[in-house]
Amino acid sequence: MMVVDTSIAIAIFKQEFDAEAYTLQIGRHGNPLISAATLLEIGIVLSSWKRLTASEVDQWIENFLQKGQFTVVDVTRSQAKLAREAYARFGKGSGHPAQLNFGDCFTYALAKERGAPVLFKGDDFRHTDLVAA
């Protein structure tokens, strides 16, 4: 089990040099998890590029979820609390090097709650108390 961050979906969408490695890593882990809030963030990022219509964004996300055999986890009250705590501790403007954004905090909360490693791209989660996948 592992939690997948928005940064991975975007790397795969953009077919970045490491996209195939991330795809393989997702496939190797049984039951990859993704927060419902992460799906919103993926949609916002993809829509902001104005290359895709809303229905194309939805279709890409659905294909991504299906190919990766993801379990989408609804945001719970306890996750919302963990996300708020993460933002206070690691969020943008906190002075902490992680500088987590809104979406990152939901990935953090899900991983923290489940005791799962996080698959991410970049350095933000490396500066937290989570384990990298």
Contact yes or no for 120/35 (Cβ under 8 A): no
Angle between helices 6-13 and 19-28 (to 10 degrees): 130
> Which tokens is 10 given?
């975007």
104 labeled part of a ligand binding site = yes
| Cα→Cα distances 89→19, 72, 97, 123, Å | 30, 26, 10, 16
**What HEC string does 55-81 produce?**
HHHHHHHHHHHHHHCCEEECCCHHHHH
Annotated binding residues for Mg(2+), written as ranges, equal 5, 104
Annotated binding residues, written as ranges, equal 5, 104
